[in-house]
Amino acid sequence: MEFDLSKRKAALLIIDLQELFTSATGPFKNELAAQTIDEVNKFSQACANRAMPVIFSRYSFRDDLTDAGLLSDNPLVRDGFFSENSKWMKLDQNLQVPPANIQLQRNRPGAFWNGRLDSCLQDLDVDTLLLCGLSVNNAISTTAREAFARDIACVVIKECTGAAPFESDLDAYFETLHTWTAEVASAADILHRLKQ
């Protein structure tokens, strides 16, 4: 799948780069996230320089966990790691957040859950998402499929998209997404195509 970006209005959507999922010393002990964050920083700055909307979406639950659903018995959820006011819900300290940005929260893996992203994209008159963050098998894939179901073009930025520590073989995930649901492309390729 490949999109003609010259005919589209895009926004950058950065998913789940909060300390809970990115910290090497946190509950998920993600030692690979630092490299992903470096790539995201470079790409998000390039997008911001093009006056492109930059949206951050975080997966969290209310402090009382009444919206935790099937995860309400998960030990990490019960211990408050996923609670919206937990220190673990702060964006990673190494993430460079552009001054003009939009921050959304949701309580399910896909970023379209609860309709806030839908409304945001409509307000911005956006028809294309440049998607990156964590994790490719869960939140990224779910969000890409939700975009596909809404006829919103979605491009997963390969080097800006990382795995959870328990995921392996990212190429297989990327190939599956690229075959049907979304375009998977490099940051350099997308930035070049946005110039045209």
Identify the structural domains of the chain with CATH numbers, from first to last: 5-195 (3.40.50.850)
The pLDDT value given to residue 150: 97
The pLDDT value given to residue 196: 56
The pLDDT value given to residue 195: 72
Band the pLDDT of 146: cuts 50, 70, 90.
very high
Band the pLDDT of 167: cuts 50, 70, 90.
confident
Q: What is the mean pLDDT of residues 164-175?
A: 84
Q: What is the mean pLDDT of residues 117-132?
A: 97
Asked whether residue 100 carries a pLDDT value surpassing 70, the answer given is: yes
Q: What is the mean pLDDT of residues 119-125?
A: 96
3-state secondary structure the chain: CCCCHHHCCEEEEEECCEHHHHCCCCCCCCCCHHHHHHHHHHHHHHHHHCCCCEEEEEECECCCCCCCHHHCCCHHHHCCCCECCCHHHCECCCCCCCCCCEEEEECCCCCCCCCHHHHHHHHHCCCEEEEEECCHHHHHHHHHHHHHHCCCEEEEEEEEECCCCCCCCHHHHHHHHHHHHCEEECHHHHHHHHHC
Query: What pTM, to 2 d.p., does this model score?
Result: 0.95
Band the pLDDT of 194: cuts 50, 70, 90.
confident
The pLDDT value given to residue 168: 76
